[in-house]
């Protein structure tokens, strides 16, 4: 048998990422795979970061970045054609491995078809199969040779279902330092160093800001009635979200001490004494920055009724899921009221002992997640490739 170096000299690695977060994961994975296989080529669908590492993207990545049922239905035929074309292309000229990065609705079917054709497949970033629609694991079992998970409890789920899995850690835990002091962030944002600061994060989508923006600002009003010296910051994910938040602020007859910042969400979190935020990845970022938080979310009554019956987990926020217990309050749907949110936030501003214990818990979880995810994921793909020699 030729040396391993010769076997992998002209390796082709196929990847599909569907949105910006996948592009960030993909570029790190490509860089780490290049260290192992310097002559490998990369193809599929990726964003500007992945393309900057030499990947050939057959379709602009934004064509896959579709959110919401109506939007998906409007682009369904296009998405099905893109997937069909990829299947035909790679069945005719198989790559050495296919890696689907997140985008499970698109990638899992693609992975299954390629897997059935004898192509090795991996999926990077587990869908929330452990939380709802658990029967999807049966499809995943037939679709992938390897699941790469960001979180340890996800890996345990797949181990229990006999799906090959590797826990690689979270790239945010690699990037965010163990200590994130308040003062430098406040200087960057032009905030007073000695004023208690509350960061409000009603979400990055317009629909989320519509549902939560007034609720979060009403919560700020309640807090100011008890602590008039407080100051507030809101990071806006885009110019559109900034304008939307400012428009809501204009509805308040008495000006609130709120600074709206374009972007810089991590800087805003670092500057805060406590954070009120919508459930999502931002809760993980806040945890990695060791900031106390209160998590809130509201859905339409029908959507909430359906989701409540499908979700099998006790908690929805990542800090609680990772801790295996409630370490941050989750005030959802009917409990998402200004008075309740304000009291939970004020309690965390005043209870130093609870905050110190919380920070110790967050520090422990941070160390669990900091595993050099790019290298761990590349190592998993290498073992998959070399086990099939």
pLDDT digits (tens, 9 = 90+) for 281-308: 899 999 999 999 999 987 766 665 555 6
Higher pLDDT, 5 or 119: 119
Same-domain status, 59 and 158: yes
Pair (253, 140) in one structural domain: no
What residues contact 383, with CB distance under 8 A and at least 6 apart? none
Closest residue by Cα to residue 53 from 33, 83, 69: 33
End-to-end CA distance of the chain: 10
Does one domain contain both 245 and 137?
no
Cα–Cα distance measured from residue 365 to residue 39, given in angstroms and rounded to the nearest whole number: 37
Contacts 24+ apart (CB under 8 A), 88-91: 89/58, 90/14, 90/114, 90/117, 90/119, 91/117, 91/119
Q: Are 96 and 382 in contact (CB under 8 A)?
A: no
Q: For 318-373, how does the pLDDT look when each residue is reduced to its tens digit (9 = 90+)?
A: 999 999 899 999 998 888 899 999 999 999 999 888 889 999 999 999 999 999 99
**Residue found under tokens 């790239």:** 171
Shared domain for 222 and 348, answered yes or no, is yes
For residue 158, pLDDT over 80 is answered with: yes
Which pLDDT score, from 0 to 100, does residue 69 have? 43
In a domain, 240, yes or no: yes
Residues 236 and 336 in one domain: yes
3-class DSSP state for residue 46? coil
pLDDT at residue 193 tops 50: yes
Asked if residue 174 belongs to a domain, the reply is no
CA–CA separation, 118 and 321 (whole Å): 36
**Does 32 map to a domain?**
yes
Confidence (pLDDT) at 8: 59
Of 293, 288, 305, 217, give the one whose Cα is nearest residue 258. Answer: 217
Q: Among residues 197, 215, 213, which one has the least CA distance to residue 205? A: 213
Query: Does one domain contain both 365 and 383?
Result: no
pLDDT value for 130: 58
Q: What is the pLDDT of residue 304?
A: 57
- Quote the domain boundaries for residue 322: 182-369
Lowest mean pLDDT, pick from 73-82, 183-192, 250-259, 376-385: 73-82
Ordered alpha helix ranges (H), the chain? 4-7, 20-36, 48-52, 69-74, 76-92, 104-116, 136-143, 152-160, 171-175, 182-189, 206-226, 239-249, 265-271, 281-288, 301-310, 318-323, 338-350, 352-369, 373-387
User: Is the CB of residue 330 less than 8 Å from the CB of residue 336?
Assistant: no
By CB atoms closer than 10 A (0-12, 13-18, 19+), residue 317 is buried
Give me the pLDDT at residue 306, please.
57
Q: In 3-state terms, what secondary structure has residue 167?
A: strand
Q: How far is CA 183 from the centre of its chain?
A: 27
Evaluate whether residue 45 is within a structural domain.
yes
- What is the rounded CA–CA span in Å between residue 279 and residue 12? 38
Per residue, what are the HEC states of 190-229?
A: CCCCCCCEEEEECCCCHHHHHHHHHHHHHHHHHHHHHCCC
Centroid of chain to Cα 169: 13
Establish if 82 belongs to a structural domain: yes
pLDDT of residue 341: 96
pLDDT at position 73: 53
The size of the chain, in residues, is 389
Would you state the structure tokens that stand for residue 367, as one six-digit string?
């160390």
Nearest C-alpha neighbor of 163 from the set 110, 113, 116, 121: 121
> Does residue 147 lie within any of the structural domains?
yes
Q: Give the best-scoring range by mean pLDDT among 56-65, 226-235, 253-262, 302-311.
A: 226-235
Q: What Cα–Cα distance (Å) separates residue 318 from each residue in 40, 175, 378, 386? A: 36, 18, 25, 34
Distance of alpha carbon 32 from alpha carbon 307, whole angstroms: 38
Choose between 179 and 389: higher pLDDT. 179
Which pLDDT score, from 0 to 100, does residue 67 have?
Answer: 46
> Do 198 and 149 have their domain in common?
no
Q: Which residue has the higher pLDDT, 149 or 353?
A: 149
What's residue 129's pLDDT? 72
Domain-embedded: residue 176: no
pLDDT tens readout for residues 9-54 = 679 999 999 888 899 999 999 999 999 999 999 999 999 999 999 9
- Residue 388: pLDDT over 80: no
Q: Are residues 103 and 239 in the same domain?
A: no
Same domain, 148 and 213: no
Q: What is the mean pLDDT of residues 168-188?
A: 95
Instruction: Record the pTM.
Output: 0.85
Find the mean pLDDT for residues 111-118.
96
Higher pLDDT, 200 or 80: 200
Tens digit of each residue's pLDDT (9 = 90 or more) over 60-114: 888 776 544 444 555 678 888 999 999 999 999 999 999 999 888 899 999 999 9
More confident residue, 312 or 28: 28
User: What pLDDT is stored for residue 2 in this prediction?
Assistant: 44
CA pair distance 291, 289, nearest whole angstrom? 6
Domain co-membership, 9 together with 97: yes
Domain total for the chain? 2
Same domain as 329, residue 378? no
For residue 310, is pLDDT > 60? no
349 Cα distance to chain centroid: 27
Between 311 and 243, the higher pLDDT residue: 243
207: pLDDT confidence band, cut at 50, 70 and 90? Answer: confident
Q: What is the pLDDT of residue 10?
A: 79
* CATH number where 260 lies: 3.40.50.2000
Q: How confident is the model at residue 5 (pLDDT cuts 50, 70, 90)?
A: low
Mark whether 273 and 382 lie in a shared domain: no
Give the model's pLDDT for residue 349: 93
CA–CA separation, 47 and 21 (whole Å): 10
Q: Is residue 177 part of a domain?
A: no
Of 122-131, 135-144, 189-198, 249-258, the poorest mean pLDDT is in 122-131
Tokens of 149: 């998970």
């Amino acid at each position: 048998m030729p040396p391993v170096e010769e076997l992998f000299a002209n390796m082709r690695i196929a990847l599909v990422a569907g949105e910006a977060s996948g592009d960030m994961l993909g570029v790190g994975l490509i860089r780490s795979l290049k260290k192992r296989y310097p002559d490998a080529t990369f193809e599929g669908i990726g964003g500007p970061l992945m393309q900057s590492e030499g990947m050939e993207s057959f379709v602009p990545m934004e064509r896959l970045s579709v959110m919401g049922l109506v939007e998906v239905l409007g682009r369904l035929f296009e998405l099905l054609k893109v997937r069909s074309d990829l299947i035909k292309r790679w069945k005719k000229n198989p790559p050495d491995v296919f890696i689907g990065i997140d985008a499970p609705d698109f990638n899992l079917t693609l992975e299954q078809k390629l897997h059935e054709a004898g192509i090795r497949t991996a999926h990077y970033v587990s869908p929330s199969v452990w939380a709802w629609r658990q029967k999807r694991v049966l499809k995943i079992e037939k679709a992938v040779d390897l699941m790469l998970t960001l979180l340890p409890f996800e890996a345990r789920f797949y181990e229990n279902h006999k799906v090959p899995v590797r826990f690689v850690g979270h790239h945010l835990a690699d990037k965010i330092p163990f200590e994130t002091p308040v003062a430098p962030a406040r200087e960057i944002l032009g905030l007073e160093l000695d004023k208690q600061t509350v960061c409000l994060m009603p979400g990055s989508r317009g629909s989320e800001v519509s549902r939560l923006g007034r609720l979060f600002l009403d919560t700020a009003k309640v807090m100011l009635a008890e602590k008039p010296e407080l100051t507030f910051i809101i990071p806006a994910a885009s110019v559109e979200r900034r304008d939307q938040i400012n428009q809501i602020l204009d509805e308040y007859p008495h000006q609130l001490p709120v600074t709206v910042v374009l972007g810089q969400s991590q800087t805003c979190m670092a500057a805060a004494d406590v954070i009120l935020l919508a459930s999502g990845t931002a809760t993980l970022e806040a945890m990695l920055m060791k900031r106390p938080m209160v998590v809130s979310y509201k859905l339409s009554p029908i959507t909430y009724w359906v989701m409540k019956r499908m979700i099998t987990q006790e908690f929805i926020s990542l800090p609680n899921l990772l801790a295996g217990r409630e370490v941050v309050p989750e005030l959802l749907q009917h409990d998402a009221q200004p008075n309740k949110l304000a009291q939970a936030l004020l309690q965390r501003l005043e209870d130093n002992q609870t905050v110190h214990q919380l920070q110790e818990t967050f520090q422990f979880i941070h160390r669990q997640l900091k595993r050099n995810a790019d290298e761990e994921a590349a190592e998993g793909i290498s073992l998959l490739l070399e086990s099939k020699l």
